[in-house]
Structures are given as structure tokens and as C-alpha cells.
Structure 1
Amino acid sequence: MNGSSTSVAIDDYLKVIYAHTEWQPEPITPSQLAARLGLAPSSVTEMVKKLAASGLVDHQPYSAIRLTVHGQDRAVAMVRRHRLIETWLVRVFGYRWDEVHDEAEVLEHALSDRLLEAIDAQLGHPRRDPHGDIIPSADGTVRRPPAVRLDEARPGLDGTIVRISDRDPDVLRVIDRLGLALDEAITVEAGESPGAGVGVRRRGGSVIVLAPSIAAAVWVAAAGEPTA
């Protein structure tokens, strides 16, 4: 692996580690990291050792992985690039939100800082990407709204959809077909039974039931909370 490909791999690892704890507090384990990256555990173990030796992560054998301050700064910079590019592809080139991730993975390593900041200015300095994930500011500041996953929300909660996970494009396509969107106001209905899905009442009064796997991809902020 040459220097350029090593740097790309490091950035990919740091982004996944960062994203894992972005909307929940538990740090990522080596096995979870391997699953997210689609790599063999042995390969991940070796890379994590290199990241630790470079001062980018803290990790002890058989324990979770945490970013150091240096690792956090580098991860946030890459996340900013990735999400700005996703937003640019959707707004300017008409990509669908389920198409942009892989394209952004390539472009984020090719665009100069100057072009990235020009894109940010052209877009009006957006604070969220097409999926509701926060775009860090140029100085690394991240302002994330307090939110809960829909499948963990209490019945009766009046809220607003603030994030829809982009991990699975098929889930995004299902949510598209249902017509759900960021910033939509919903009320969480009482569930009929465990595993039966999550019912949500929409503005017009209609109720739809989301399968558990779909509800687990949606984050809701209580009414009155800032969305970005």
C-alpha cells in the first residue's frame, strides 16, 4: 500500500469511528469496525495498531476504539468534505440521496481545499447534508440537535424528523416511497406489540407504520428543539 492509498484508508477508518458515536455514546469495537468497513478482523486489527501508533486513536487489546484529539480533528475535516460534496451533488447535479455516498467517497480525496470552500460558499454554507447529518464548520465546530431514534422514542412524542441514516440505500428508497422527509412534523403512536413496527401520525392526520429496520434509521427531535 503506497502513501496515498494509506492516507485514504486512514481517513476512511477515522470517518467510520467518528460516525459511530455521532448519534449515540457507545464507542466502536474492532468487530463492529470490521463489519462496517467490510474487512477481515485481522486487517482491521493491524490498521488500528497503526492508528494508535500515529496518535490518532486510543485502543487497548479487547477494548473499544476511541479517537484522540488529533484523530477527532482529522475525522471531522474529512466528514466536512464528504457531506459538503454529498450536498453539492444533490443540489447542483440532481443526484438522489441514495446515490451520493459512493460518489462522495471518491471525490472527497480529489478536491482541493480551495475548491471545497468555494463549494461551501456556493451552497450558502449549509449546516446539514441531504440526510440531516451535521456538516462541521470550517473551524471544526459541530452543533448537533438533541434527538432520539424513532424506534426508541416514547409514544406520544411530538417531534420533527432531523436525520435519516444513509447507511443502507435500500432504506432510503423505502423512506422515499413512504414520502417521509427531513423536517417533517410527526407524532409517535403507541405500539401494538414489540417488533410490530412504529406508528407515526403525520400532519394531515394519516398514520403509517414503519418496520423496525426503517424506524431505526430515523432520528426525531422533540417539538421546539432546534433542528440544526
Structure 2
Amino acid sequence: MASPAVDDYLKTIYHHTEWQSEHITPSQLALELGLAPSSVTEMVQKLAAQGLVTHRPYGPVSLTPAGERRAAEVVRRHRLIETWLVQEYGYAWDEVHDEAEVLEHTVSDRLLDGIDARLGRPAFDPHGDAIPDAAGSVHREPFVLLADAAPGHRGRVLRVSDRNPAVLRGLDDAGVRPGTEVTVQDAAALVVDGATLDLPEGAAQAVWLSA
């Protein structure tokens, strides 16, 4: 079942549990993919038959080891391409997601390895998401979502969700990117180098800090 549709399902399931522990439900999967629940149920059954996911009726969906490996391959492609577009072609970090969605299904393994080498084997993409290595392994340090961080918490921005381009642009304008050292004032403001920065609406659910 080598197809972009299968890869998109596996990538979505993989991504759902990267920054929180709850497994995705079929209804959440349908919402994420913009598909009818009946279509998602049918595909999940096919993926289960292929040994790529485990699922029980009305329960959550999780990846099997085989599904995890395949999902990591797709995620690796996507994030290397995003990094390549930013570093080599001057794309902004809010512009690369849709381009990578197309290219991840067409770039050959040889070209992908060349891109990886050209970029110096990066461990993270422009948004701070970990790029799986060729074996599918990733490293993430302990983290906390900004919305859950206590006032006064000091940490480094680890990751910014690429779900909302407007939030990415607002954070970029404020000078908040992965690697920025911050102190939490509250969920709507961070202190950076002694200056208080007001964050765009939605940032509290889009920024992860080192714990």
C-alpha cells in the first residue's frame, strides 16, 4: 500500500503524539485530514490489516513498530525538505509546509540523502521539530507547552507549531524562534533580554519550551 494517502495517515498519527501523550482517535484523525469519518474508518481498517496500526472499535489509533518506521521516513522527508527550502531558497518558515507536503512524495532517496548531507545532517527543522535520522530515531529533551508553563519559568523555545502561519509570522515579528531564551510572564507574554514581548493570539498553544 505504498501511496501518498497511506503516508499522510501514518504521518498524522505520528505527529499527534510527538508533543503530548494521548493517542489519536478516528474522529480526530478525520478532522486533521479533512475527510469523512467513514472514509477514515475504512482506511484505518486497511492499515491495521497491513500491520501498520493497531485499533479497536471506537478506540484510539496507534502505530505498530512497522508503522512507526514508515511514518518516521515520511516525517524525515517532510522536515528535511522544509529545512532545505528555508536554508537554500530563502523561504520563510510559514511558507514551507505546503511545498513540503507535495515534494515529500516525489523526492528520491538519493536526492534526499544529498539534501541531508548538504545541510550538514540537521537534527531539527525550522520549527524545532526533530528530524528522524535514517534509522528513524529522534532525540527530544523534556518540554512544557507555554500554556502550561508557570509564570517565571525560564527556558529555551524548543518548538513552534506550523499549523497556523499567522502565529508563525507574529512570533517571527516578536523575535521568538526555536533557540530563543525566554522567561514566561504569562501565556500571552514572554520576557526576552529584559524586554516584554506580547505574543500573537494562539501562541500559548503553539510554543513549547524546555522544561
Tell me the TM-score normalised to structure 2 length: 0.96
1:107 corresponds in structure 2 to: 103
SS of 2:67's partner is: helix
SS of 1:140's partner is: coil
Match of 2:199 among 195, 198, 210: 210
Is 1:47–2:43 an aligned residue pair? yes
SS of 1:58's partner is: strand
Conserved in 2, the CA contact under 8 Å of 1:18 and 1:72?
yes
For residues 42-64 of structure 1, give each alpha carbon's deviation from its aligned partner in whole angstroms, at most 9, with x where no partner exists. 11111111111111100011100
C-alpha separation in 1, matches of 2:209 and 2:166: 20
SS of 2:92's partner is: coil
C-alpha separation in 2, matches of 1:60 and 1:74: 21
1:220 corresponds in structure 2 to: 209
Is 1:78–2:74 an aligned residue pair? yes
Is 1:156–2:152 an aligned residue pair? yes
Instruction: Identify unmatched segments of 5+ residues in structure 2.
Output: none
For residues 115-138 of structure 1, give each alpha carbon's deviation from its aligned partner in whole angstroms, at most 9, with x where no partner exists. 100110000000000000000111
Conserved in 2, the CA contact under 8 Å of 1:156 and 1:188?
yes
Conserved in 2, the CA contact under 8 Å of 1:151 and 1:212?
no
Q: CA deviation at 1:182?
A: 1.4
For residues 146-201 of structure 1, give each alpha carbon's deviation from its aligned partner in whole angstroms, at most 9, with x where no partner exists. 11111111221110001000011121112122221111111112x4xxxxx43211
Conserved in 1, the CA contact under 8 Å of 2:131 and 2:138?
yes
C-alpha separation in 2, matches of 1:53 and 1:170: 40
Q: CA deviation at 1:210?
A: 2.9
C-alpha separation in 1, matches of 2:170 and 2:190: 15
Q: Percent identity?
A: 59
For residues 49-84 of structure 1, give each alpha carbon's deviation from its aligned partner in whole angstroms, at most 9, with x where no partner exists. 111111110001110000001000000011001100
Instruction: Identify unmatched segments of 5+ residues in structure 1.
Output: 192-196, 223-228
Give the letter for the 1:51 counterpart. Answer: L
Give the letter for the 1:71 counterpart. Answer: G
**Count of residues paired in the alignment:** 211
SS of 2:8's partner is: helix
Conserved in 1, the CA contact under 8 Å of 2:167 and 2:201?
no
C-alpha separation in 1, matches of 2:164 and 2:202: 10
SS of 1:129's partner is: coil
2:191 corresponds in structure 1 to: 201
Conserved in 2, the CA contact under 8 Å of 1:27 and 1:66?
yes
Give the letter for the 1:201 counterpart. Answer: V
Is 1:38–2:38 an aligned residue pair? no
Q: CA deviation at 1:212?
A: 5.7
C-alpha separation in 1, matches of 2:41 and 2:15: 19
2:65 corresponds in structure 1 to: 69
Give the letter for the 1:216 counterpart. Answer: Q
C-alpha separation in 2, matches of 1:173 and 1:181: 10
Query: In angstroms, what is the RMSD of aligned CA positions?
Result: 1.3
Tell me the TM-score normalised to structure 1 length: 0.89
